Protein backbone atom coordinates (compact mmCIF):
# COMPACT_ATOMS: atom_id res chain seq x y z
CA UNK A 1 0.00 0.00 0.00
CA UNK A 2 0.96 3.64 -0.02
CA UNK A 3 3.60 4.36 2.56
CA UNK A 4 3.47 8.04 3.34
CA UNK A 5 0.85 10.67 4.06
CA UNK A 6 2.07 12.68 1.09
CA UNK A 7 1.71 9.77 -1.34
CA UNK A 8 -1.70 8.94 0.06
CA UNK A 9 -2.93 12.50 -0.45
CA UNK A 10 -1.58 12.49 -4.02
CA UNK A 11 -3.42 9.25 -4.75
CA UNK A 12 -6.68 10.59 -3.32
CA UNK A 13 -6.39 13.86 -5.25
CA UNK A 14 -5.59 12.11 -8.53
CA UNK A 15 -8.44 9.64 -8.18
CA UNK A 16 -10.90 12.37 -7.24
CA UNK A 17 -9.74 14.55 -10.13
CA UNK A 18 -10.07 11.69 -12.60
CA UNK A 19 -13.66 11.03 -11.58
CA UNK A 20 -14.56 14.72 -11.64
CA UNK A 21 -12.77 15.57 -14.90
CA UNK A 22 -13.47 12.48 -16.96
CA UNK A 23 -16.10 10.14 -15.56
CA UNK A 24 -18.86 12.56 -14.59
CA UNK A 25 -18.73 14.70 -17.76
CA UNK A 26 -18.58 11.59 -19.95
CA UNK A 27 -21.60 10.09 -18.18
CA UNK A 28 -23.57 13.32 -18.65
CA UNK A 29 -22.60 13.61 -22.34
CA UNK A 30 -23.54 9.98 -22.95
CA UNK A 31 -26.84 10.72 -21.19
CA UNK A 32 -26.24 7.99 -18.63
CA UNK A 33 -26.92 10.44 -15.80
CA UNK A 34 -28.47 13.88 -15.66
CA UNK A 35 -26.67 17.07 -14.78
CA UNK A 36 -28.54 17.15 -11.49
CA UNK A 37 -27.26 13.67 -10.65
CA UNK A 38 -23.75 14.73 -11.62
CA UNK A 39 -24.00 17.76 -9.34
CA UNK A 40 -25.15 15.54 -6.49
CA UNK A 41 -22.25 13.14 -7.12
CA UNK A 42 -19.82 16.04 -7.27
CA UNK A 43 -21.02 17.22 -3.86
CA UNK A 44 -20.61 13.71 -2.45
CA UNK A 45 -17.11 13.45 -3.90
CA UNK A 46 -16.06 16.80 -2.46
CA UNK A 47 -17.40 15.87 0.97
CA UNK A 48 -15.75 12.46 0.79
CA UNK A 49 -12.44 14.02 -0.26
CA UNK A 50 -12.50 16.52 2.60
CA UNK A 51 -13.39 13.86 5.16
CA UNK A 52 -10.65 11.46 4.13
CA UNK A 53 -7.99 14.19 4.05
CA UNK A 54 -9.01 15.21 7.58
CA UNK A 55 -8.70 11.60 8.71
CA UNK A 56 -5.24 11.30 7.16
CA UNK A 57 -3.93 14.55 8.68
CA UNK A 58 -3.13 12.94 11.99
CA UNK A 59 -0.11 12.71 14.20
CA UNK A 60 1.15 10.08 16.60
CA UNK A 61 0.23 11.18 20.10
CA UNK A 62 3.02 9.45 22.01
CA UNK A 63 6.59 10.51 22.57
CA UNK A 64 9.67 8.28 22.11
CA UNK A 65 10.31 8.53 25.84
CA UNK A 66 7.10 6.57 26.48
CA UNK A 67 8.68 3.48 24.93
CA UNK A 68 11.47 1.25 26.12
CA UNK A 69 13.49 1.67 22.93
CA UNK A 70 13.54 3.69 19.72
CA UNK A 71 12.70 0.50 17.81
CA UNK A 72 9.56 -0.02 19.91
CA UNK A 73 8.51 3.59 19.29
CA UNK A 74 9.05 3.22 15.56
CA UNK A 75 7.10 -0.03 15.46
CA UNK A 76 4.15 1.42 17.41
CA UNK A 77 4.16 4.60 15.32
CA UNK A 78 4.21 2.63 12.09
CA UNK A 79 1.36 0.38 13.24
CA UNK A 80 -0.69 3.41 14.29
CA UNK A 81 -0.36 5.14 10.92
CA UNK A 82 -0.84 1.94 8.96
CA UNK A 83 -4.11 1.17 10.72
CA UNK A 84 -5.38 4.74 10.40
CA UNK A 85 -4.47 5.00 6.71
CA UNK A 86 -5.94 1.60 5.87
CA UNK A 87 -9.21 2.47 7.58
CA UNK A 88 -9.43 5.87 5.88
CA UNK A 89 -8.67 4.37 2.47
CA UNK A 90 -11.25 1.61 2.90
CA UNK A 91 -13.91 4.22 3.62
CA UNK A 92 -12.73 6.36 0.71
CA UNK A 93 -12.87 3.42 -1.71
CA UNK A 94 -16.36 2.52 -0.49
CA UNK A 95 -17.46 6.13 -1.06
CA UNK A 96 -15.97 6.30 -4.56
CA UNK A 97 -17.53 2.95 -5.43
CA UNK A 98 -20.95 4.10 -4.24
CA UNK A 99 -20.73 7.17 -6.49
CA UNK A 100 -19.59 5.13 -9.47
CA UNK A 101 -22.23 2.47 -8.78
CA UNK A 102 -24.93 4.98 -9.70
CA UNK A 103 -23.33 5.44 -13.13
CA UNK A 104 -22.86 1.69 -13.59
CA UNK A 105 -26.48 0.92 -12.73
CA UNK A 106 -27.78 3.69 -15.01
CA UNK A 107 -25.69 2.50 -17.95
CA UNK A 108 -27.22 -1.00 -17.93
The list of the chain residues with pLDDT below 50 reads none
Residue 68: which residues within 8 A CB-CB, separation 6 or more?
Answer: none
The confidence score (pLDDT) of residue 2 equals: 61
- Considering its fold, how many domains does the chain have in total? 1
The three-state secondary structure class of 62 is coil
The confidence score (pLDDT) of residue 37 equals: 94
Q: The domain containing residue 77 runs over which residues?
A: 5-107
| Strand spans (E) along 1-108 | none
The confidence score (pLDDT) of residue 4 equals: 83
The confidence score (pLDDT) of residue 1 equals: 56
Amino acid sequence: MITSKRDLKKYINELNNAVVQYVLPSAVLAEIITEAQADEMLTKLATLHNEVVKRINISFDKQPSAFESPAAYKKARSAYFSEAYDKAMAEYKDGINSVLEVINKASK
